[in-house]
């Protein structure tokens, strides 16, 4: 249980102070923070609450959008914004910044992917200097057009491998990669570069491309198998439970966290 | 234009007689048929109408569901049903049967994939005897749980390569595979085994996992690039426009077919 981390999107109704206090109360020693939530009270106040409650940050979410394509169509300077995110991560005491790299510009998939590689190259030295690793997260192919032209761990790894392992890693999120016929070998190749392991399940039928997540155990994902893979590749860091689910978001945070702990214990801990 | 085929799901309101007559009237020489539609008038009557109108069948859709997992949860004997589909394809004068292999049984992805390989092994000689090729279609990873544990062309090819090229091939459908970082090399490896090429676009945002398709040109897919890939791999057969789209399905078939021809001409023909 000492590796369980609450990704705060799972308890969306909770503010940062509520989520940190909630974790401390439930004996959950890690939290994955989101920048928009942190911004509500500020980075310094968040850092103070973390120290006071003895909760550590497993990762900060998120930088990226290097292709200029965002889900809501708003313009963004991904490189500049990610520099800010790197600074925030360092001040929050986490070495892991999750990147969502951005969707397809026009219909130029290859060019969009090149823009991602270029941006990572530009940012890697900045991140390394600040002790923060850029965590390239492969997102599910159904999010390729709008959110991420990185669709597989293999592909994220190809970009990461151009840089020191302390500067650029890959985030393995079960929801995004469980279907991948190459996932075992891809994770094995990622040894030393796994910057995070996020667990959840997939709703069946999958009625929503973003909110189609469920608590571990409620879908087709074999969590113990994937955990064995990341551990065989040397990952022994925190394991974030990250669930985007409209029904869960209607429940009180404390009840959600109770269910997170229960499902993690039942389905994600080696049996 | 002589390679354009109307996949009849695109004109869902049309019956088989309407679709065949509609193609003939519009100068479209090929049609991709669906078994449920054919069943409404029978295989023999369909074959008679095809001869009368001079329209050929590019493929019959579909056999498969070898894992026993179907979208609506109904039980199915995939192997027995696919034998029937092979017979129907032969009687309709097409050498290509599209297979949707079935979703994940429980959370055993590897076992489900093995069941597919086993079923294909069982059916390949039967298909070969009747001059029908089993077309393994990789479906989008978002359909892995419910419809298809084959998610990439590479993976479909690994199963196909165990059998003669005349017995088992792969169907390349743009909607399902456009995001794949390995698609170019996978298609190149499929030389001699491409059993069909289906074109359409993806809606952005992708609001529905099944109906999130659009006519070519309305999304992020580079149709000319993918066409160059399949042609470089030796495919010179019919090209099906296959669009599941609720809005399109509300329009009269003739208007839909007009838009199919126009978008195909504008975005899918080498420029």
String of DSSP letters for B142-153:
GGTTTTBS--SH
A151: closest CA among A177, A120, A185? Answer: A177
Residue in B146, B154, B222 closest to A205 by CB: B146
For residue A180, the chain B residues in CB contact (below 8 A) are: 141, 151
String of DSSP letters for A121-147:
HHHHHHHHHTT-EEEEEPPPGGGTTTT
Cα–Cα distances (Å) from A118 to A55, A79, B243, in that order, read 35, 10, 35
How confident is the model at residue A177, as a pLDDT?
98
For residue A205, the chain B residues in CB contact (below 8 A) are: 71, 145-146, 209
Chain-centre distance for alpha carbon A61 = 6
Contact between B209 and A204 using a beta-carbon 8 Å cutoff: no
How confident is the model at residue B73, as a pLDDT?
87
Contact between A219 and B178 using a beta-carbon 8 Å cutoff: no
Helices (H), chain A: 16-26, 35-41, 43-53, 78-91, 109-129, 153-160, 174-177, 183-189, 223-232, 253-267
Asked whether the beta carbons of B213 and B243 are under 8 A apart, the reply is yes
Within 10 angstroms of residue B114's Cβ, the number of other Cβ atoms is: 13
For residue B62, is the peptide bond before it cis, meaning its omega torsion is within 30 degrees of 0? yes
Residues ≥6 apart with Cβ < 8 Å to A129: none
Q: What range defines the domain where residue A253 resides?
A: 4-267
Share of chain B above pLDDT 90, in %: 96
Q: Is the whole model's pTM more than 0.95, yes or no?
A: yes
For residue A163, is the peptide bond before it cis, meaning its omega torsion is within 30 degrees of 0? no
Residue appearing with tokens 């001079």? B54
**pLDDT above 90: residue B1:** no
Contact between A146 and B204 using a beta-carbon 8 Å cutoff: yes
Region B250-260: what's the mean pLDDT?
98
The domain tally of chain A equals 1
**pLDDT above 90: residue B71:** no
Region B145-167: what's the mean pLDDT?
98
Burial of A21 (0-12, 13-18, 19+ CB in 10 A): middle
**Sign of the Cα pseudo-torsion (B188, B189, B195, B199, in order):** negative
Residues ≥6 apart with Cβ < 8 Å to A216: A199, A200, A201, A223, A241, A263, A264, A266, A267, A268
Q: Which residue of A has its CA nearest to B110?
A: A181
How confident is the model at residue A195, as a pLDDT?
98
Domain CATH number, residue B246? 3.20.20.150
Residues ≥6 apart with Cβ < 8 Å to B127: B86, B97, B133, B134, B167, B168
Question: How far is the C-alpha of A34 from the C-alpha of A26, rounded, in Å?
Answer: 20
Region B134-148: what's the mean pLDDT?
98
Residue A155 forms contact with B (CB below 8 Å): yes
Within 10 angstroms of residue A91's Cβ, the number of other Cβ atoms is: 15
Element (H, E) at B48: helix B43-53
Query: pLDDT tens string for chain A (271 positions)?
Result: 899 999 999 999 999 999 999 999 999 999 999 999 999 999 999 999 999 999 999 999 999 999 998 888 888 999 999 999 999 999 999 999 999 999 999 999 999 999 999 999 999 999 999 999 999 999 999 999 999 999 999 999 999 999 999 999 999 999 999 999 999 999 999 999 999 999 999 999 998 999 999 999 999 999 999 999 999 999 999 999 999 999 999 999 999 999 999 999 999 999 7
* Beta strands B194-199 and A213-214, pairing class: unpaired
């Amino acid at each position: 249980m000492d590796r369980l981390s609450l990704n705060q999107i799972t308890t969306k109704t909770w503010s940062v102070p509520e989520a940190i206090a909630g974790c401390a109360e439930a004996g959950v020693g890690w939290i994955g923070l989101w920048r928009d939530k942190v911004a509500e009270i500020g980075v310094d106040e968040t850092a103070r609450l973390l120290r006071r409650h003895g909760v550590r940050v497993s990762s900060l979410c998120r930088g990226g959008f290097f292709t200029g394509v965002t889900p809501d169509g708003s313009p963004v300077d991904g490189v500049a914004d990610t520099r800010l995110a790197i600074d925030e991560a360092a001040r929050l005491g986490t070495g892991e910044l999750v990147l969502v790299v951005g969707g397809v510009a026009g219909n130029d998939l290859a060019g969009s992917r090149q823009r991602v590689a270029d941006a990572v190259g530009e940012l890697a030295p900045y991140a390394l200097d600040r002790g923060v690793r850029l965590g390239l997260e492969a997102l599910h192919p159904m999010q390729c057009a709008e959110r991420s032209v990185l669709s597989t761990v293999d592909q994220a790894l190809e970009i990461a491998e151009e840089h020191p392992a302390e500067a650029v890693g890959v985030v393995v999120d079960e929801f995004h990669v469980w279907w991948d016929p190459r996932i075992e070998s891809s994770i094995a190749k990622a040894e030393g570069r796994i910057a995070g392991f996020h667990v959840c399940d997939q709703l069946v039928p999958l009625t929503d491309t973003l909110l189609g997540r469920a608590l571990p155990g409620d879908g087709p994902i074999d969590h113990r198998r994937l955990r064995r893979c990341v551990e065989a590749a040397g990952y022994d860091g925190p394991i974030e439970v990250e669930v985007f689910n409209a029904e869960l978001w209607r429940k009180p945070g404390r009840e959600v966290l109770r269910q997170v702990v229960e499902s993690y214990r039942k389905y994600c801990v080696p049996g």
